[in-house]
Structure 1
C-alpha cells in the first residue's frame, strides 16, 4: 500500500511537470502531449527520427517486425521558440507545433522537407475481439514533388503522386509502406495491416486498418542512395549472393520428371549456351493432397540425390519450389495442425485434382501455415532439411503473400501468433522468408542462402531474398510495367528484383503455330527477345513461364535471328559478371543498388524524374531497352493469375505472316544531363541532356556508358566460375574522373563477413589520362596473386599490364 501511494505521487508529479514544461526530454528524444495525443519522438541516428502517437493516456506495446536497429545515443538539442519546439541533430531538425499539433521536418540548414497535415485520426475498431483503432496520418507534399516506392506495383508509373491504392500483398503486386522523395528524405509507415495510400493535391496519407498507435520513421539521406542507406540501417543490410546466382537461369512450369530436367541442362551444355541455374517447380511431391510435402514423392523423380549430383557434375545449380501451405497428406501438415498452426482460409490449389476449373467435389484441403509463430517457422525448416540434405542450392519460395482465394472479411479475424491476420497481413512474406534464412544460417555457413520469392516487405532485403513480380501476363504492356515496378521496389531499400522473362501466362500468343508453340509465333518471339535483353540487366536473369517451353532451342537454331539474339543476350550477361559481382559487393558494403532509377543519379535533371523505361544498372551502365514492338504488332493479352490457367481460352488456328527480323529499326533514348555518354556498341560519344535516335536490330539492346566509368569484362564461359578472372579486360571511358573497385572472394560461403575477400581499386585521372590500379586489399585462399589486365579506352587504345597486387600506374 505504501509503495502504491509513492508510485501515485511520483506519477502525478511527472504529469504536473510535463504540463508545466510542455514536454519531457528523454535519452532518445522527447515526450509530450499535443491535442489529446501522446507524442514521442525518438532519434535512431542523427538522420532518422521515429514518431509515435497514441490517444492520450493509452498504453501500447510494439516490437517492430521490420526495424532491427535500436535508438542510438544521439547528440541533440531542444529549443522552445514560442509555440514551437525544435529538436536538432547534426543532420535534421524536427519541429513540434503546440498550436496545431503537427510535426514537421527540415534539413540541418532549416530547409523544410516534410510537414504533417493535421493530427492523426484514431477510429475505434474491434479487431477480432481486441479493442484497437484504425489509424491515419496525412502529410503535405510540394505540388511538383515526386515520390517513389510503395513496392512492386503494376501501374507503369515511376512517381507515385496522384496514386490511390490499397496496399495489401498479392500475387503480382508486393507492397512496402515506404516512400522517398526527390528532396532526399524517406518515410516508413511501420504498420503491417492492409493500408490505404492516397495522394492528392490536398494531402498524402497512410491509413491502416489496425493500429494501436501511429508509428512512422522519417529519414534524411540528401539523395536516393542516402535514403536507402538509412532504410537499410534501420531494417537490415543486404547479404551477398553466390556468384553463380548472377548467371543465366532456366525454368519452366514445370519439369515433369527427373529425366526432363537433366536433359535441359545437358542440352545447354551441348549447345555451349551459358547456364548456371535450373529450377524445379511444383508437383515433384506428387498430387495436390501431398502439396508441398518437401520431399520427392512423385515416381517421375526416382532418385533425387542422383539428380542433384548430376546437375552439379555439369557445373550447374538447382533450386526447388517450396510453398507457404501444405496438403493434408504431408508430414508438416500433420505436425503443424496438431499445434494449431494452420490457417483455415481458402488458398491455392483449391482442388486435389489437377483439372481446370477446380472441382469443388474434391477439395485439396491445403492450408497456409502460421509463419508468425517461431515454432511454426522452426517446424517449416525441420521439414525443409529433407531437401537441404540433398545439397539443393536454394529455395524458390512461392506464394509467400500468401495466396488467399475467395476472400471473406471474416478470414482476416484468423488468429495468428501475433494477433489477428488482419493486424500483421502484409508482413507474412517477411516472416516466412526470414524463418528459412535464419534457420539455414544457424545450420551452416558453407553455402550462402539464396531465396527466390514471390512477395516482399520492408526489411526483407536482410534475408538473402530476390523478389519476383509474380504470375504476370505476356504482353508488351506487362513487360513495360516491370521496369518501374523493379525500380520502385529498389527505392524501398530492396535491391533484388526480377520478373518472369517473357511473362508467365502466354495467353493469346499461344495459338497453334505449326508445332503448337508460341516460340514459333513472331509476335511472341519479338517480345521474348526484348524481355530477355532487359532481363540481362536485372539482379537475376531468369526465363520462366507456363503454356510453352522457354529453352533457347525451342526458338530455332544457331544462325537464325531469334536464336542468335537470345544467345547474344545471355553471353552479354556473362561478360559483365565481374562488374555485376563487384556491384553486388557495393550493394552489401556501401548500401548501393543494382537497378537505379535515373532520378537516383541525375536528380537535378527534371526530365528523368518520371522516365519509366530506362535506368542505370550499377553506377555506369545506362540501359534503354526496346519496349515497343518494332517488327510485329502489339497484341493485347488480358490474362491474370486466375484466368491464365484456363487453357481452353488460349487455343485457335490464327496464322501469321513471315517477319524479316534482319531489318534495321530505331528507338528514342534520353541521355541524362550532366555527363558525357558513350554508346557501348559503337563507342560514339554524346553530350547528356538530349534525346537521340538509336538504330536498333533484333539482337541489340541500347546501352550507354557514363564518362569516367571503369568496367571489368570477363571471359566467355559456359558457367560463372568456369574460368578464373586472370586476364580481364578493363574498359575505361574517358571524359571525367572515375573509380571502381573490383571485388573477389570465394564466390560462396560467408567467409567474406570475416574479411576473407580482396578489393582492387581502379582510379581514372582524366586530366592526366592515367589509370591507377591500387594496392590489392585483403586476401583469401586461392586468390589470384598475379594476373593480366588489358586496359582499353573507349577509342580503342589498349595496353596490357601485369599486376601482382602492388600499385601500378598506366599512362595514356
Structure 2
C-alpha cells in the first residue's frame, strides 16, 4: 500500500514520511504518546474522542540504512518500508514490533461446507480485505486487556472482536464479536514492558488478538483513516492515566447516583411505581432512585408522558422526591413518525433527521412504530435535543437513561449509506457515524442538563465510543439471569474501567429470563461494589425486587445494600480520585499489583479502589471458595477481622449470605451511618475503620451535587496511620460544613468495621 520509504521531513510536532505511493505521519502528543497517521479518505474528520492538546516534545529524527528513527526522552520510534512502525525504549529494546499478517485462514472443501450447512453450522470466514490493517508481534507471555464491553474473560489474548455497536437479543456468549460499545483501545502487558494502543477510527474495525495467529495480533478497519496512538509507560496505571488524559475522564457524579437504583421494564402505571417505592421503604432497603422504562411515555413517543396511566405525572414525581427518590426516565433516539407530534414536526421543519441515499426521509421501526432518527452528529440537532431535556427536568426528573442508541431498529439495521448531517453541515454516512451515534446523543443530553438543571448531570447510555465517559455513565445492556452472565460481569466491568469507563454496572439479577433466589443473592453481592448499582429486569420475566422471594433473601439483599450505603464515602472518594487520575473504581487485581503474575488472569475477584478486594461466589451451589490475596501486602477479613499474609491462596467459607471481602493493611476506610437514601440525615461525625499497617488516605467532603468542587469548594482530610496510630490533617478547608468529629475503630480479630456503630470519638479540631 505504501511502498518503499523514500524520505522524511521533520517539523515542530512530528515527522512526515514519504513512501512510494503515500505519505504517513508520526507526531507526538507527549513524549510517551505517539500518533501514527495516514489519510485514507478524501475528507479528514476531526476526532470525536481525543481532547488532549499536543505538548511541545523534543525529538531527533535520523535516516538509517533501511529505516528512520525518531527519538524522544521516553521512546524510540522506528519507521520502515510500507509504513511499518516499531516502538522501542530510548536505549533500543523492542517494546512492540510491526509485522505482516500470515495467512492461517481455514480452508474447507465444497462437500464439507454442504455438510456444515445442513446441520446449521456457520462456515469459517474467508480472509477479509480491509481498508488497512496493522499487524504486530505477540510476546509468548503477553496479556491483553481493555476493548470496552466485550464478552469473555479478562485477558483478551486469543479472542477476535469487531467494533460495531450492536443490539443483539441473543444470550451474550464468549464468542460474540461485538456488543453495544466500540472502544478500540487495549493495554498490552508482558515482562518488562507495558503499552497501550488506541485506534481512533469510527468505521467498522476489527481486533484479532492472537486468535488467527498465536504469534501476532492485528487491528484493521473498513473505512476512515489509519489513525492510532501508541502509549508507552512503566505501569498499567501509567497507560490508563495517559489514555484517559487523551480521551477525557469520568467526572465526579452526584453522590445520590452512587446509591441503589431499582428498575423494571413493566412498571406501567403510577400505582406500579408507587407500590415499589413504598415497599422499598417498608422493607428498609435503602434506595435513591426508581427508573421509568418506556411505558411511562405516550405511545412510546419521546418527551411525552402517558396521561392515561399517570393522571398527574408531575405530582407523582414530586411524591417520589418527598420520599427521597430521584426519578430517572428512559429516552430512545427514534422519534415517532406522526403528523401533529411536535418533536417530529420540529425535526422535519428543520431537517434534523437522517435521509436515505435517495435523499428521502429515512424511516425504520422502533418501539413507537415507524420512526425517524435525529442527526446527533450535527451540533444544531444536538442543541435542539438538549432543549427537549427541559420537558423532563421541569417534570421533576433527575436523570436520563439513553437506550436503543446504537442505533437499534426493528426492520433490519440502518443501511451503510443512510445520510446524517455532520459537524459542518456536510454529510456523514451511517457506516462512519454508527459507532459515534450514541456518543453524540450523550453529548446532546449532557448539554441540556447543564443548561436547564445546572447540577452534575446523571446520564446513562447503552451505546458509546471512546471518550463517551466525558458525557455519560454506562451499563452493559441486556444481560440474562444466568450464572454465566454473573461470571462475565466481573471481567466485563473491569475491562470497561481499564478502557476509561469508570462509571459502569450490570443489571443486577439479569435483565432477561428468570432469576433464582441464589443467583439474585450472589448478584447483589457483586452489584453492591460495582460503580453503578441497579436491579433491572424485563417485562414478562420473574419479578426480582428484593421482597419477591423469601425472608432469607430479603435479609441478604438488605445486608448488601446497607453495605453499599456504609461504604458510600469510600466509593465517592474513589470517584473523586478517578477524575484526577483516570484510574477506575472497580479494578482487576493486577492494576494494583502488577508485579504479582498470579493476578494477571483472575476473573472472579476484583478490587474497589486501592484498599478493598471482593471475592464473590459466581457459581451455583458454592459455599466455600478459593481466594487469592496479592503479595506485597497484609489483608484483613472485612467480616471477622482475621489477618492474612498476601501472596497466597486461602480457602474461605461463603454461605449464601457471605461474600468474602478483604481490606488491605494500612487502610483507613470512611464509613457513613445507615441511611435509606443519600441526604436522609446530615453526617456530622464520620466513622473511620482503621486496619493496622502503614498507609495514607485522602477523604473528600463537599455538597455532593454542584460543580463547586471544581473551584476548590471541598474539604480534603488526610488520614495517616502507622500500625493503628492515626493522624488527621486538613489538606483543604473550603467546604462550609466540616465534620464535628470522628469515630475511630481499630479493626482486628473479632472487631470489624461494622461490628458496632461507633468507636473512640475524636473531636475535629478546626
Any residues of structure 2 matched to 1:723-802 within 5 Å, and which? Answer: 723-735=681-693, 737-766=694-723, 769-781=724-736, 783-784=737-738, 786-795=740-749, 796=751, 800-802=760-762
Change (3 A) 1:575 1:387: same
CA positional deviation for 1:68: 1.5
In 1, Cα distance between equivalents of 2:333 and 2:346: 15
Any residues of structure 2 matched to 1:507-546 within 5 Å, and which? Answer: 509=514, 524-546=516-538
In 2, Cα distance between equivalents of 1:19 and 1:582: 51
Report the equivalent of 2:110.
none
Report the equivalent of 1:164.
160
Any residues of structure 2 matched to 1:589-600 within 5 Å, and which? Answer: 589-600=580-591
Change (3 A) 1:614 1:30: same
Give the secondary structure class of the aligned counterpart of 2:294: coil
Any residues of structure 2 matched to 1:667-682 within 5 Å, and which? Answer: 667-682=625-640
Which of 313, 335, 338 aligns to 1:304? It is: 313
In 2, Cα distance between equivalents of 1:545 and 1:673: 39
Contact 1:23–1:32 (CA<8 Å) still a contact in 2?
yes
Residue 328 (1) aligns with residue 337 (2): yes
Which of 148, 170, 179 aligns to 2:145? It is: 148
In 1, Cα distance between equivalents of 2:376 and 2:42: 27
Which of 27, 47, 54 aligns to 1:42? It is: 27
Contact 2:130–2:220 (CA<8 Å) still a contact in 1?
no
CA positional deviation for 1:269: 1.8
Residue 94 (1) aligns with residue 81 (2): no
Contact 1:35–1:101 (CA<8 Å) still a contact in 2?
no
Give the secondary structure class of the aligned counterpart of 1:788: strand
Change (3 A) 1:253 1:436: same
Give the secondary structure class of the aligned counterpart of 1:604: coil
In 1, Cα distance between equivalents of 2:5 and 2:276: 74
Change (3 A) 1:799 1:263: closer
Change (3 A) 1:626 1:159: same
Report the equivalent of 1:29.
14
Report the equivalent of 2:477.
470
In 2, Cα distance between equivalents of 1:64 and 1:486: 25
Give the secondary structure class of the aligned counterpart of 2:23: strand
Which of 30, 53, 66 aligns to 2:38? It is: 53
1:202-247 Cα deviation digits (max 9, x unpaired): 4211111112x21001112322222111111111122111110111
Residue 261 (1) aligns with residue 255 (2): no
Structure 2 gaps, min length 5: 103-128, 169-178, 357-361, 423-427, 753-757
Which of 448, 454, 469 aligns to 1:461? It is: 469
Residue 615 (1) aligns with residue 606 (2): yes
Residue 432 (1) aligns with residue 415 (2): no
Residue 479 (1) aligns with residue 486 (2): yes
Contact 2:641–2:747 (CA<8 Å) still a contact in 1?
no
Give the secondary structure class of the aligned counterpart of 1:321: strand
Any residues of structure 2 matched to 1:624-663 within 5 Å, and which? Answer: 624-630=615-621
Contact 1:732–1:794 (CA<8 Å) still a contact in 2?
no
In 2, Cα distance between equivalents of 1:260 and 1:307: 11
Report the equivalent of 2:256.
244
CA positional deviation for 1:108: 4.3
Any residues of structure 2 matched to 1:350-389 within 5 Å, and which? Answer: 364-389=369-394
CA positional deviation for 1:286: 2.4
In 2, Cα distance between equivalents of 1:595 and 1:587: 11
Which of 296, 302, 324 aligns to 1:315? It is: 324
1:601-635 Cα deviation digits (max 9, x unpaired): 1222222211111110111111111000117xxxx
Which of 281, 292, 298 aligns to 1:280? It is: 292
Residue 209 (1) aligns with residue 217 (2): no
In 2, Cα distance between equivalents of 1:254 and 1:92: 55
Give the secondary structure class of the aligned counterpart of 2:203: coil
Which of 531, 552, 561 aligns to 2:546? It is: 552
Change (3 A) 1:623 1:346: farther
TM-score (norm: length of structure 1): 0.82
Contact 1:102–1:118 (CA<8 Å) still a contact in 2?
no
In 1, Cα distance between equivalents of 2:675 and 2:91: 53
Give the secondary structure class of the aligned counterpart of 2:583: coil
Structure 1 gaps, min length 5: 1-17, 121-131, 353-363, 510-517, 519-523, 632-664, 807-812
Which of 550, 561, 568 aligns to 2:559? It is: 568
Contact 1:332–1:379 (CA<8 Å) still a contact in 2?
no
Report the equivalent of 2:47.
64
CA positional deviation for 1:347: 5.4
Contact 1:561–1:698 (CA<8 Å) still a contact in 2?
no
110-119 or 667-676, larger mean C-alpha shift? 110-119
CA positional deviation for 1:256: 1.1
Give the secondary structure class of the aligned counterpart of 2:404: coil
CA positional deviation for 1:285: 1.7
1:328-363 Cα deviation digits (max 9, x unpaired): 23322222233443346775536x6xxxxxxxxxxx
RMSD: 2.5
Give the secondary structure class of the aligned counterpart of 2:415: helix
Give the secondary structure class of the aligned counterpart of 2:439: helix
In 1, Cα distance between equivalents of 2:306 and 2:583: 43
Contact 2:5–2:83 (CA<8 Å) still a contact in 1?
no
CA positional deviation for 1:100: 6.1
The number of aligned residues is 700
CA positional deviation for 1:566: 0.7
Residue 403 (1) aligns with residue 408 (2): yes
Give the secondary structure class of the aligned counterpart of 1:436: helix
In 2, Cα distance between equivalents of 1:439 and 1:286: 22
Contact 1:101–1:118 (CA<8 Å) still a contact in 2?
no
In 2, Cα distance between equivalents of 1:160 and 1:83: 34
Contact 2:406–2:438 (CA<8 Å) still a contact in 1?
yes
CA positional deviation for 1:395: 0.3
In 1, Cα distance between equivalents of 2:647 and 2:673: 34
CA positional deviation for 1:757: 0.8
1:743-768 Cα deviation digits (max 9, x unpaired): 111110111111111110112234xx
In 1, Cα distance between equivalents of 2:364 and 2:500: 30
1:292-328 Cα deviation digits (max 9, x unpaired): 3312134111212111211111111111011111112
Contact 2:62–2:69 (CA<8 Å) still a contact in 1?
yes
In 2, Cα distance between equivalents of 1:101 and 1:448: 45
TM-score (norm: length of structure 2): 0.87
In 2, Cα distance between equivalents of 1:347 and 1:221: 46
CA positional deviation for 1:178: 0.7
472-481 or 665-674, larger mean C-alpha shift? 665-674
In 2, Cα distance between equivalents of 1:758 and 1:485: 34
Change (3 A) 1:152 1:384: same
In 2, Cα distance between equivalents of 1:225 and 1:307: 46
1:363-408 Cα deviation digits (max 9, x unpaired): x112332211222222222222111222310001111212144546
Report the equivalent of 2:196.
186
Give the secondary structure class of the aligned counterpart of 2:676: coil
In 2, Cα distance between equivalents of 1:151 and 1:682: 36
Contact 1:91–1:107 (CA<8 Å) still a contact in 2?
yes
